[in-house]
A and B are shown apart, each in its own frame.
Chain A
Amino acid sequence: DTAVSQTPKYLVTQMGNDKSIKCEQNLGHDTMYWYKQDSKKFLKIMFSYNNKELIINETVPNRFSPKSPDKAHLNLHINSLELGDSAVYFCASSHRQGDNEQFFGPGTRLTVL
């Protein structure tokens, strides 16, 4: 059973397009996250939700909009994609807010052409 799953695994698209990445966790965790990992493997948090409520919103362009329909799902929509958005996006979850053990999804490699 996959604990944290993301779709799609790969996403190749043109500049200016709008795309979404979906994430689901079946661990019963309260908290979910979106991270961005750039080409130098630097892993940086973008957003965090706790029980469907946004609790962390980093300095991310407002072209990025997360949405949590329920506490098992956290989706990421990106408008007007730019070259610099190319990265691997990881969804993660933790039992509670503030837990140091986070469970990461397999990642979505986004390439903007």
Chain B
Amino acid sequence: GQSLEQPSEVTAVEGAIVQINCTYQTSGFYGLSWYQQHDGGAPTFLSYNGLDGLEETGRFSSFLSRSDSYGYLLLQELQMKDSASYFCAVRGFSGGYNKLIFGAGTRLAVHP
């Protein structure tokens, strides 16, 4: 079966660093993605890791360890606008299809 686990909520202060972890179990792993969704908004793509290691895009970085079935999203220099839900998603096979399977999301609250 397919499953992803990520914390339901994380709280941090402006300027801090926060790490959102994601562990997964899937058939035929083809990479880990991260999406951001503000309240009332649409999910937007942040990053993709197909191989082990760290990918950096500005203040956001994403890490993958395929041997540990684990990844994380690192947000640095937090800003109020980073308050949103963050979803990890794996591409894997389920029900005969190659598709993106999303985690339940981590709600990040950034406080002044």
B42 touches A44 (CB 8 A): no
A100 / chain B contacts, CB cutoff of 8 Å: 31, 33, 45, 48, 89, 91, 100
Which of A11-19, A62-70, A75-83, A102-110 is found at the contact surface with chain B? Answer: A102-110
Smallest CB separation, B27 vs chain A (Å): 15
Main secondary structure of the interface of B (DSSP, over half): strand
Please count how many residues in chain A sit with their CB below 8 Å of the partner chain's CB atoms. 23
Q: What's the interface size class on B, roughly?
A: 20 to 34
Chain B minimum-CB-distance residue to A44: B102
Determine the distance from Cα of A74 to Cα of B74 in the docked complex, in whole angstroms. Answer: 35
The reply on B3 being an interface residue by CB < 8 A is no
Smallest CB separation, A51 vs chain B (Å): 16
Chain A positions within 8 Å of B, measured between CB atoms, are 40-45, 48, 55-56, 58-59, 90, 92, 97-98, 100-107
Task: Please name 18 pairs of A and B residues whose Cβ atoms are closer than 8 Å in the assembled complex, sorted by A.
Answer: A40-B104, A41-B37, A41-B85, A42-B102, A42-B105, A43-B102, A44-B102, A45-B99, A58-B95, A58-B97, A90-B43, A98-B91, A98-B98, A100-B33, A100-B100, A101-B33, A102-B45, A104-B42
Chain B positions within 8 Å of A, measured between CB atoms, are 30-31, 33, 37, 41-45, 48, 85, 87, 89, 91, 95, 97-102, 104-105
